[in-house]
Structure 1
């Protein structure tokens, strides 16, 4: 196996030969064999071990074993202890997911702080098959069936082309010792059930299972490349804008393709959506309809879909009082200034001119509210503010972040949009007030 490992590394992972590497080592057979293979190849590496404190004294014995392994291989060892159970409870995660998150977060921090180029993990061909089956059983798209990537950013898995049996044979041939984790034999976890009960049956049916599976993954990855190319072409036509409001997509482009649901799934699956029939329904829904995930919102707005981030901080709905003795006030949306002037000019998006005598102080700057009315400057009569904003063709995010300036309950200015006709400067105005927001 050493020869095959060397050849595979030099052919497909040549960059490792001149890199500083961290090997994630649990003490189990896979990671220990990987460490010996890297040592015999002459790679520049250090070992990193996570003590999750889940197995009492056995966890400490694993840590001691990895420290001794470092001495034997004459390399540095980094160890981090975690309170995994507490972390899982605090973050509402399973023990397995908590350990995985803690592990990768620490490894990446370690690599960044100490300037290691790559992190090596000991995932192998059988792990890849088990992951495929887990995703298949839980339901997934094409990407969930393309296997564990050999290279994913700074994470590299040099053993993916080798089986568990080959790794075990290597360990015996090299007289390598390792630590056994009894949790690997329990049927409590789905992966272990597949490993001990399902995969052996499949291998009995087809002794060349892993070889055939490798060919299947290659075909699926080729198909995934074609899908990505097609998806990118649709995205290029569909995306109208990407700005602080979110990402805006042209609905017509989704209707043009043969399978809208498939394209919508591939386009938005990374944002946590699960109700795909509801998302398809947005294409023909009325304006304002939306679908939410835990992190994002997809809204139908006229002929578009708008993707917004729910975690994006909206302005605080606090009211700012502006007294006539204070001609400059800091507000959530900028500095608001009041200035007496003799001449009124045309209103702009940042400046309006009003009849000061018609104002009652203090003025209030706040977010708009449903049920309010405005008398838009230049128009006859009043209009519901919600209707005015709709006619302005604002996106949902723009509506949510629209501010108004009021005097005694009456709107003076829909900031950035329109002044109110009731406060306009006329030929009878004695005192003109310039109001500006910067």
Structure 2
């Protein structure tokens, strides 16, 4: 069977798309995506080429973009490109460069698909990529779903090169004499995936040359097992999760305790709500003697209550505002049962109570407000160049989810966050040698 015939058969067998449908190809310029483009052209599919320039490799990144642009001209298909400030995005969102690039890439491709009315986006993952993904999942810890590998189709993303191993892709590329761009970072083992590809897989192939085939067959079995497990879990939820009028869900502890193996069942029942394996392990070890104990995920809580397990969503932090009138300083107020004061003073010689927060009193936009944390809140902490999510700061300070609303935020009339008491102030209102008057935000000793 010709290479392109195997390619087209895989697309048909997995119902990736119909011949007349329009597909955007995500092409980096590397060997995998270049071969995918050549196969689409040979099969005479209706396609366009899209390229993301992450601006991580200087001139090389720009040359990659120009190479892919020329590739699209060669095939006489539409070309789309975008440039990202990837490092800035990663810094501001406190994620790795790799995760930032992934998020930016998929978000842009989906927006492009919708805007230009394409049916699907094709990415060039092959069987060896899927093997690497399974091994990474095993190293991180995973449920059954993590053993399935990369799916040929998910929503509007299709992966037609999963018909082939990485070695088959490389051999076909040489056979076709196709030019491509090489990313030198692929040779670095500082990234986990590269270390698996370069160091681990060669040793595994010494034990079994048909590594990709074995993992592919295993993935199909795990996929079937995962569908069976999902069906059983859904049926248990339908029979035992009792939804109350107020939105809470109650389930009998006796029903949960009868499940076997209980650890697997509890994980599958509750991890879709964001509960970690560690938290669910604590739940199991506590349910015989932990009435009243709570277990938290990012959005939900589980409460042990006299033979029942009650799950409810965590209420979003309320937007509590107390207006601070400038001509009434000092201003004392109560916040969740604690007494605070906001006052002004001279920079030198001012007496302070516990945990004072001080900012430049001149650099303020009046009036001021005190309010709770809100989803999406960001500010520039003292000494940092970029912005930080307030939620990340609260996590670092080990503030429980149920206590986030109790942390007072000082904001100006434009809702710019000036201080998160008592940990950080905004760099833009820091005290400088030129500062004469300061605004002091502190908790009263007898509060």
The TM-score normalised by the length of structure 1 is 0.69
- How many matched pairs? 320
The 3-state SS of whatever aligns with 1:17 is coil
The 3-state SS of whatever aligns with 1:258 is coil
Query: Out of 35, 59, 62, which is 1:60 matched to?
Result: 62
Instruction: State the match for 1:255 in structure 2.
Output: 257
Contact 2:16-2:160 at 8 Å conserved across structures: no
Give distance in 2, aligned partners of 1:42 and 1:235: 47
Deviations 1:5-50 (A, max 9, x none): 1222233236331211111111101011111111111111111111
Displacement over 6 Å in runs of 4+: none
Contact 2:16-2:158 at 8 Å conserved across structures: no
Unaligned residue ranges in structure 1 (runs of 5+) = 320-396, 401-438
Query: Out of 279, 282, 302, which is 1:278 matched to?
Result: 282
Unaligned residue ranges in structure 2 (runs of 5+) = 323-401, 406-447
Instruction: State the match for 1:313 in structure 2.
Output: 316
Query: Out of 273, 278, 293, which is 1:289 matched to?
Result: 293
Query: Out of 86, 89, 102, which is 1:87 matched to?
Result: 89
1:176 aligns with 2:178: yes
Residue 191 of structure 1 deviates from its aligned partner by 0.6
Contact 1:238-1:254 at 8 Å conserved across structures: no
Contact 2:16-2:153 at 8 Å conserved across structures: no
1:206 aligns with 2:208: yes
Identify if the C-alpha distance between structure 1 residues 301 and 47 changes in structure 2 by more than 3 Å, giving closer, same or farther: farther
The 3-state SS of whatever aligns with 2:99 is helix
The TM-score normalised by the length of structure 2 is 0.67
The 3-state SS of whatever aligns with 2:55 is coil
Contact 1:237-1:253 at 8 Å conserved across structures: no
Instruction: State the match for 2:10 in structure 1.
Output: 8
Give distance in 1, aligned partners of 2:62 and 2:175: 28
Instruction: State the match for 1:24 in structure 2.
Output: 26
Contact 1:234-1:253 at 8 Å conserved across structures: no
Instruction: State the match for 1:223 in structure 2.
Output: 225
Query: Out of 88, 104, 114, which is 1:102 matched to?
Result: 104
1:233 aligns with 2:235: yes
RMSD value over aligned CA atoms? 2.2
1:78 aligns with 2:88: no
Residue 302 of structure 1 deviates from its aligned partner by 4.1
Query: Residues 320-359 of structure 1: matches in 2 within 5 Å?
Result: none
Give distance in 2, aligned partners of 1:130 and 1:243: 46
Give distance in 2, aligned partners of 1:232 and 1:290: 24
Residue 195 of structure 1 deviates from its aligned partner by 0.4
Identify if the C-alpha distance between structure 1 residues 60 and 244 changes in structure 2 by more than 3 Å, giving closer, same or farther: farther
Give distance in 2, aligned partners of 1:146 and 1:246: 33
